[in-house]
């Protein structure tokens, strides 16, 4: 790395919470449950965020196992952030306090979700068009929590490409820091853009230049370790929030750390390394959800894990049929028993996948 990866490996802080390296696991609705986060942390992510949760859901979660699993935090995964979404500023404080009681170290507020239903309910990305309400939410969450718990935001670069949208971005960005926000993650796409077209890294550069010492985490198009290093180098952001690039690919965290340390690129995971990761992830998911739900949840990860197997299409098809533990173990026995090199899947990463999602 031309600028010497060591600078990029620098830890940073979100308020009083130390983040050991710039390599972060993003909030991912439908994915970043405790199992995915623990795996990410064990395999190199310095910090991770849970999937976005509706404020009212959190405040009124009850005792149902399935619902409680969505809030669950493991002892080994600190620091971990919990993310909230809603429309009414008064609904946020009880939810934020509940997440802190569950063990979350940082409370993040979602101003990025582009899903139509969410926008229609004046939540997520919609609030980028309502700076006064967005800032009221930030202030109320900040006031509701003890000072040692940082409050952070996730923003897209605007609702759309209009000058008004850009003004609103800066109003929320500066206003949130003025109200005590400790860091802001910026996804370089507009809400209108959803996932079409690139994330604007030049915008991220401008944001970090404007922010100075204030902490900015970058998001968008981080599909490889090389891309993560490039974002850090090109934009100067304090951390990279790896999202789609981490689904079924926990190796990306160590691969990024290696490049940042100035080491040669790590080899692709071998078939046995893939098997071990799949076993670990499955076990974490079973522990969290029980066998039936783990079966459903892990299918969508497994389809992505399959990309680095030399027989990727056959493996993918086999995983699609998995329901319970025996099915999972049978796929591992059939395709992962004999070791060999992994497949380079860089060419077939589907960058438009999962567009109907939350940030
Ligand atoms: C399936 C999926 C779920 C997502 N869920 C969330 C979420 O819950 N909260 C959030 O702030 N962003 C969410 N995002 C947005 C990502 O965190 C990230 O900002 C976005 O995917 C851009 O990064 P990428 O191009 O590297 O994937 C989600 C994205 C995807 C694809």
Summarize pLDDT for 62-79 with one digit per residue, the tens.
888 889 999 999 999 999
CATH of residue 167: 3.20.20.70
Residue 359 is predicted with a pLDDT of 66
Residue 349 is predicted with a pLDDT of 54
User: Average pLDDT of 192-210?
Assistant: 97
Same domain (yes/no): 252, 276: no
Query: Distance between terminal CA atoms of the chain?
Result: 30
Q: Which residues line ligand 1 (CB under 6 A)?
A: 26-31, 51-52, 83, 110, 112, 154, 187, 199, 219-222, 243-245, 354, 357-359
Ligand 1 atom closest to the CA of 242, numbered from 1: 26
In a domain, 330, yes or no: yes
Say whether pLDDT at 5 is over 50. Answer: no
Ligand 1 atom closest to the CA of 199, numbered from 1: 25
Residue 350 is predicted with a pLDDT of 53
What is the span of the domain harbouring residue 74?
A: 5-260
Last-in-domain residue among 234, 260, 286 = 260
∠ CA 224-346-307, nearest 5°, is 105
Choose, from 113, 122, 228, 355, the residue flagged as catalytic.
Answer: 113
Distance 358 CA to ligand 1 centre (A): 6
Same domain (yes/no): 43, 97: yes
Q: Specify the residue for token string 């949760």.
A: 53
Residues 262/1, Cβ–Cβ less than 8 Å: yes
Q: Is 113 a catalytic residue?
A: yes
For residues 254 and 266, give the distance between their C-alpha atoms in angstroms, rounded to a whole number.
Answer: 8
Write the residue with the smallest CA distance to atom 10 of ligand 1: 359
In a domain, 265, yes or no: no
Confidence of residue 3 (pLDDT cuts 50, 70, 90): very low
Q: What is the DSSP string of 96-136?
A: HHHHHHHT-SEEEEEE----HHHHHTT-GGGGGG-HHHHHH
In a domain, 355, yes or no: no
User: Average pLDDT of 333-345?
Assistant: 95
For residues 82 and 52, give the distance between their C-alpha atoms in angstroms, rounded to a whole number.
Answer: 7
Same domain (yes/no): 197, 275: no
Same domain (yes/no): 317, 235: no
Q: Specify the residue for token string 């809603």.
A: 86
In a domain, 123, yes or no: yes
In a domain, 357, yes or no: no
Number of domains present in the structure of the chain: 2
Look up residue 124 and give its two tokens: 């997520």
Ligand 1 binding pocket mutation candidate from 23, 24, 25, 26 (most atoms within 8 A of CB) = 26
Distance 337 CA to ligand 1 centre (A): 34
CA dihedral 296, 301, 307, 308 (to 10 degrees): -120
CATH of residue 283: 1.10.1200
Same domain (yes/no): 123, 233: yes
Look up residue 30 and give its two tokens: 């439908």
For residues 27 and 78, give the distance between their C-alpha atoms in angstroms, rounded to a whole number.
Answer: 15
CA dihedral 63, 67, 71, 72 (to 10 degrees): 80
**SS3 for 269?**
coil
Residue 357 is predicted with a pLDDT of 56
If we measure between CA atoms, which residue out of 77, 150, 65 comes closest to residue 107? 150
Residue 164: exposure state from Cβ atoms within 10 A (0-12, 13-18, ≥19): exposed
Q: Are strands 151-156 and 47-54 parallel, antiparallel or unpaired?
A: unpaired
For residues 215 and 182, give the distance between their C-alpha atoms in angstroms, rounded to a whole number.
Answer: 7
Ligand 1 atom closest to the CA of 195, numbered from 1: 25
Same domain (yes/no): 201, 243: yes
Same domain (yes/no): 88, 117: yes
- CA distances from residue 189 to 164, 171, 193, 194, 219 in whole angstroms, order as listed: 16, 18, 6, 7, 9
In a domain, 306, yes or no: yes
pLDDT single digits (tens) 99-124: 999 999 999 999 999 999 999 999 99
pTM: 0.96
Distance 338 CA to ligand 1 centre (A): 35
**SS3 for 309?**
coil
Distance 330 CA to ligand 1 centre (A): 32
pLDDT single digits (tens) 276-327: 999 999 999 999 999 999 999 999 999 999 999 999 999 999 999 999 999 9
Same domain (yes/no): 74, 178: yes
Q: Specify the residue for token string 């993310």.
A: 83
Distance 356 CA to ligand 1 centre (A): 10
Ligand 1 atom closest to the CA of 223, numbered from 1: 26
In a domain, 348, yes or no: no
In a domain, 356, yes or no: no
Same domain (yes/no): 330, 297: yes
Same domain (yes/no): 295, 148: no
């Amino acid at each position: 790395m031309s600028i010497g990866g060591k600078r990029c490996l620098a830890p940073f802080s979100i308020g009083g919470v130390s983040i050991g390296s710039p390599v972060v696991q993003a909030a991912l609705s439908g994915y970043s449950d405790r199992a995915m986060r623990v795996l990410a942390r064990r395999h190199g992510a310095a910090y991770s965020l849970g999937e976005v949760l509706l404020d009212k859901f959190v405040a009124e979660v009850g005792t149902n196992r399935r619902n409680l699993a969505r809030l669950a935090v493991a002892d080994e995964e600190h620091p971990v952030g919990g993310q909230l979404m809603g429309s009414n500023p008064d609904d946020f404080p009880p939810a934020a306090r509940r997440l802190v009681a569950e063990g979350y170290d940082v409370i993040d507020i979602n101003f990025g979700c582009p899903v139509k239903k969410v926008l229609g309910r004046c939540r997520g990305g919609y609030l980028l068009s309502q700076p006064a309400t967005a800032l009221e939410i930030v202030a109320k969450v900040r006031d509701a929590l003890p000072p040692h718990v940082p409050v952070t935001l996730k923003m897209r670069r605007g609702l759309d490409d209009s000058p008004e949208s850009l003004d609103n971005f800066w109003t929320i960005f500066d206003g949130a820091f003025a109200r005590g926000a400790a860091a802001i993650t910026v996804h370089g796409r507009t809400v209108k853009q959803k996932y079409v077209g690139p994330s604007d890294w030049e915008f991220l550069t401008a944001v970090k230049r404007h922010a100075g010492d204030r902490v900015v985490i970058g998001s968008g198009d981080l599909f490889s370790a090389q891309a993560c290093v490039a974002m850090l180098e090109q934009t100067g952001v304090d951390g990279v929030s790896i999202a789609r690039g981490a689904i079924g690919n926990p190796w990306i965290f160590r691969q990024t750390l290696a490049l940042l340390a100035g080491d040669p690129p790590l080899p692709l995971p071998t078939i046995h390394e893939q098997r071990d990761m799949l076993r670990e992830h499955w076990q974490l998911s079973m522990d969290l959800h029980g066998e039936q739900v783990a079966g459903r949840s892990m299918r969508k990860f497994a389809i992505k894990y399959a990309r680095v197997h030399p027989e990727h299409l056959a493996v993918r098809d086999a995983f699609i049929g998995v329901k319970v533990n025996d099915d999972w173990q049978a796929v591992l026995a059939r395709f992962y028993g004999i070791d060999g090199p992994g497949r380079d899947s860089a060419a077939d990463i589907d960058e438009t996948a999962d567009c109907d999602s939350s940030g």
